[in-house]
Amino acid sequence: MAKAFHLAESLRAGETTFLGWLCTPSAVIADMVARTGFGAVNIDMQHGWHDAASVHDTIHAVIAAGKPAVVRIAVGDFAFASRAVDMGAEAVIAPMINTAADAAALVDAVKYPPVGKRSWGPGRAMALGGFADAQAYIDWAGTETLAIAMIETPEAVKNLEAILAVPGIDGIFVGPSDLSLTMSNGAFVDGRSLLIVDTVAHILATTVRHGKIPTMFAVGPAHAKAVAAAGYRLVAIGSDQDYIAQGCADLIAAATRE
Ligand code: 3PY
Ligand code: MG
């Protein structure tokens, strides 16, 4: 089984990691999802129903199951990005990063000086990761806690080079639903729309050219397979809501098939 506290290393080695996604604030569901084939598990504070206590408990459950934990913060909630890494998250995904200034605020929260302005207090991360002392943690955290900026608007695409050039930004995460919503100026949401295909390819190529990690949310397994084959390395495939709905639908369909 994969061990936690290795996510940055595997992504930098070019490995594709499928990312479990938790909206439900339940350590039991976190444990169940982390024990499947997902290589890492994200806890969603933007569109999920988590609070600080449930993020803490689900991070613990994911790490206890041997997988790296990731947290997506709510829009602009950079204070929670620091708390997430303190609790043991190995990566923070920040939605709606539209400018280099937004990206710098994310880095400030996730990275210690001299790169950022993260304040000291990683008690849970040190305990869960088995770090011997403060120096061992700070040496590891300098390169291995990831700041990942979501690109999901035309403004972000326009500023992509500047966002990627911010020291301490490790990668980007494409939000295809919002990208389709914003690129169509509110006309529709379709993360697999032809409208965004060229932009998604452009984001991948630009991110790779900057030596940063390209990651993405996929709408279903076929989409996940395609974006992973294209080169996106950390790929989410829907959320726990989809896993349960799809699992139930498959069971009922199989049980009622003639
Ligand atoms: C999007 O597709 O906009 C997302 O934020 C996925 O989580
Ligand atoms: Mg989004």
**Which ligand has the nearest atom to the CA of 180?**
1
What residues flank ligand 1, with Cβ below 6 Å?
95, 152, 175-178, 191, 217
Residue nearest to atom 6 of ligand 1 (CA): 175
Q: Calculate helix-pair angle for 100-110, 78-87, nearest 10 degrees.
A: 30
For residue 2, what pLDDT is reported?
Answer: 41
Per-residue pLDDT at 42 exceeds 80: yes
Return the ligand 1 atom nearest residue 179 CA. 3
Q: pLDDT value at position 208?
A: 98
**Confidence (pLDDT) at 137:** 97
Catalytic center residues: 47
Domains with residue ranges and CATH for the chain: 7-256 (3.20.20.60)
- 51/70 Cα distance (integer angstroms): 15
For the whole model, what pTM was predicted? Answer: 0.97
Residue nearest to atom 5 of ligand 1 (CA): 175
pLDDT, tens digit (0-9, with 9 covering 90-100), for 246-257: 999 999 999 999
Dump pLDDT digits (tens) for 116-150: 999 999 999 999 999 999 999 999 999 999 999 99
Q: How far is CA 236 from CA 16, 136, 173, 185, 227, in A?
A: 11, 30, 10, 25, 10
pLDDT in tens, 152-205: 999 999 999 999 999 999 999 999 999 999 999 999 999 999 999 999 999 999
Q: Ligand 2 centroid to 185 CA: how many Å?
A: 14
